[in-house]
Homo-oligomer: A and B are copies of this chain.
Amino acid sequence: MRILLVNPNTTEAVTESCAREARTVAASGTEIVPLTGEFGARVITSRAENAVAAHAVLTILARHHADVDAVLLAVSYDTALLAARELLTIPVVGMTEAALVTAHLVGSRFGLVTFGTPTVYRDLVAERGLSARLAGIRSIDTAASEVYANPQSVERRVIEAASALAKDDAAECVVLSGAAMAGFARRIKEHGPVPVLDGIACGVALCEMLVRLELTAPSIGSMVSPAGRETHGLDPALAALLGKRSRGGPN
C-alpha cells in the first residue's frame, strides 16, 4: 500500500519530519510517498495562504494520485480536504481530522493545541461536524523555525498547554494540531495528565483502514468525482482530471 503524504507548506523540513513520523507508525507493507507543495507559503499561517495552498494540493493530487492508494494531508489546516476527497476516488484523510475522530475513541471531551489562531481551528473542528465534544483550544505562540531549532523548549510548552486543557477545560485527551508537531506526541506522552494525539500517526492508520475497507465510490451526492468540467489556465493534469469523461456518461 502506498500513501501519498502531501505537505503544502513549501518547507521540505516539515515534509520530512511528517514522513518520518508516518513511517514510524505505518504497518509493514505501507510505503509513505512524501511530496511538498510547489508554490505558496513557506509556512501556512493565514486563511489566504491556505486558500492558495488548496490549489497546490489539488495540482499535486492530479499529478500523483494514480500511483497511490490513499492520501494523507500533512498540514494542520487539512488544506483542501473536502475538495480532494471529492476529486479523487481513493481515500483522503486530513491530519487534524484524523486526530479529531481518534479523540472520540479515547476520551469524553478533547482539547486542541496549535501554533496558530484558535478561531481558525475552532471553525475547522466545527466544519468537520466535531465540535460537540471540543473542550478547548490553546495556542502556543512560536515561530515555526523555533520548533526545529529548539524542540525541547517547544515540547515543554506543548506539555503545559495540554495539561492546562486537561485541568482547566476538562479535556480528556489532546489533539496536537500542527505539521511541525509531528512526532511530539510520541516523545511527550509520559509527561501529561491525558493522552495526546498526533494527526500524522492517526492519519496513517486511518488511511490504511480505509484502503482495507475497499469502499465503493459514490454515484450520487456531493462527493461524486467531478467530470466533464471545462476549465482553462490550470495545470494540465488537473484540467484533465476535472475534464475526464463521466462514469456512465455518453461516449
Q: Are A119 and B109 in contact, CB atoms less than 8 angstroms apart?
A: yes
Q: Considering the chains assembled together, what is the distance between the CA atoms of A49 and B202 in angstroms?
A: 29
Given A131-B132, A172-B119, A223-B107, A209 and B205 contact (CB-CB distance below 8 Å): yes
Determine how close the nearest CB of chain B comes to the CB of A66; give it in whole angstroms.
Answer: 16
Complex Cα spacing A230 to B48, Å: 13
Shortest CB-to-CB span from A126 to chain B, Å, is 8
Per-position binary interface string of chain A over residues 45-63, scored 1 when its CB falls under 8 Å from any chain B CB and 0 otherwise: 1111111101101100000
Of A38, A118, A166, A195, most buried by chain B (CB within 10 Å of CB) is A195
Most chain B CB neighbours (cut-off 10 Å) among A127, A170, A171, A226: A170
Residues of A in contact (CB 8 Å), total: 96
Cβ–Cβ contact B172 & A41, under 8 A:
no
- Considering the chains assembled together, what is the distance between the CA atoms of A172 and B104 in angstroms? 21
How many angstroms between the C-alpha atoms of A79 and B217 in the bound complex? 26
Contacts of A50 in B (CB 8 A): 83
- How far is the CB of A246 from the nearest CB of chain B, in Å? 12
Please, how many angstroms separate the alpha-carbon atoms of A126 and B133 in the complex? 11
With A and B bound together, what is the CA distance between A129 and B117 in angstroms?
Answer: 18
Of A12-20, A151-159, A231-239, which binds chain B?
Answer: A231-239
Whether, in the assembled complex, A93 has its beta carbon less than 8 Å from a beta carbon of chain B, the answer is: yes
Return the chain B residue nearest A198 by Cβ. B213
Given the contacts A49-B242, A87-B48, A108 and B202 also touching, CB distance less than 8 Å: no
Complex interface bits, A130-170 against B, C-beta within 8 A gives 1, otherwise 0: 11110000000000000000000000000000000011001
State whether A46 touches B86 (Cβ < 8 A).
yes
Query: Considering the complex of A and B, which 3 residue pairs feature the smallest CB-CB distances, nearest first?
Result: A39-B233, A129-B132, A205-B209
